[in-house]
A and B are shown apart, each in its own frame.
Chain A
Amino acid sequence: QVQLQESGPGLVKPSETLSLTCTVSGGSISSYFWGWIRQPPGKGLEYIGFISHSHSESPNYNPSLKGRVTMSLDTSENQFSLKLNSVTAADTAVYYCAGTRLWLSWSYWGQGALVTVSS
């Protein structure tokens, strides 16, 4: 059974970079699609982007994030990561990493990491 765990700072200052890592266990990172989805407190879900081993050179990002997003894979550590730069309070959310073998319907989810943007 694939399990995911997010890790990273829970507090980020405005204008700085949010960095999160998702550690995958129970499956090879080379065999699935991986994504990041966020949920502002009390609100709905927003797609951030996805990456896979075959798409590692051209991950897909949500245009609404205006080029602030970078995702990458680390096959040696079985991890993938998210970087979101120039953050504002509007980026405060629970960030979920997710994975799937089904094309972009997300079978596996991490427990979520709350990231607060505040000075």
Chain B
Amino acid sequence: ETVMTQSPASLSMSPGERATLSCRASQNVNSNLAWYQQKPGQAPRLLIYGASTRATDIPARFSGSGSGTEFTLTISSLQSEDLAVYYCQQYGNWPLTFGGGTKVEIK
């Protein structure tokens, strides 16, 4: 199966700072990559699909890039409500697989 590795496991940043989250696939998934945000006690929410397309109603401060095996989620100006765990998920190969998550904390 395609193993998804996310880094860092956690990061702590101040409001207004730029956060960069990475996701690496063990094999080529083309642009079949999604990012999700999961706040405490809630279901995940789709942020990005197709590696770089924002889902409906997602703020412009969230952006995705990459293709093949290397992907990045950028939060351009961190807000307090962005406290969450972020997961990447590939859907280019079977079975679908998720990364282990990056926990974003706000200082």
- From known contacts A44-B87, A45-B89, A106-B34, infer whether A63 and B43 are also in contact, taking CB-CB under 8 Å: no
Residue of A nearest to B92 (CB): A104
Instruction: Say yes or no: A44 contacts B49, CB within 8 Å.
Output: no
**Chain B residues near A47 (CB, 8 Å)?**
89, 95-98
Interface of B, helix, strand, loop or mixed by DSSP? loop
> Is B18 in contact with chain A by the CB < 8 A criterion?
no
Interface residues on B, range: 20 to 34
Instruction: Say yes or no: A96 contacts B34, CB within 8 Å.
Output: no
Instruction: Say yes or no: B43 contacts A112, CB within 8 Å.
Output: yes
Instruction: Say yes or no: B91 contacts A104, CB within 8 Å.
Output: yes
Instruction: Say yes or no: A105 contacts B100, CB within 8 Å.
Output: no
Best-surrounded residue of B44, B94, B99, B100 (most CB of chain A within 10 A): B44
> Is B55 in contact with chain A by the CB < 8 A criterion?
yes
> Is A34 in contact with chain B by the CB < 8 A criterion?
no
Taking a contact as CB atoms closer than 8 A, the residue among A44, A102, A110, A111 that contacts B100 in the complex is A44
Interface residues of A in 29-54 (CB under 8 A from B): 44-47, 50
> Is A62 in contact with chain B by the CB < 8 A criterion?
yes
> Is A109 in contact with chain B by the CB < 8 A criterion?
yes
Interface residues of A in 84-119 (CB under 8 A from B): 96, 100, 102-107, 109-112
Instruction: Say yes or no: B45 contacts A109, CB within 8 Å.
Output: yes
**Chain A residues near B50 (CB, 8 Å)?**
102, 105
Q: What are some 8 contacts across the A-B interface (CB < 8 A)?
A: A44-B99, A45-B36, A45-B98, A62-B95, A63-B95, A96-B43, A102-B50, A109-B45
Residues of A at the B interface (CB closer than 8 Å) are 44-47, 50, 60-64, 96, 100, 102-107, 109-112
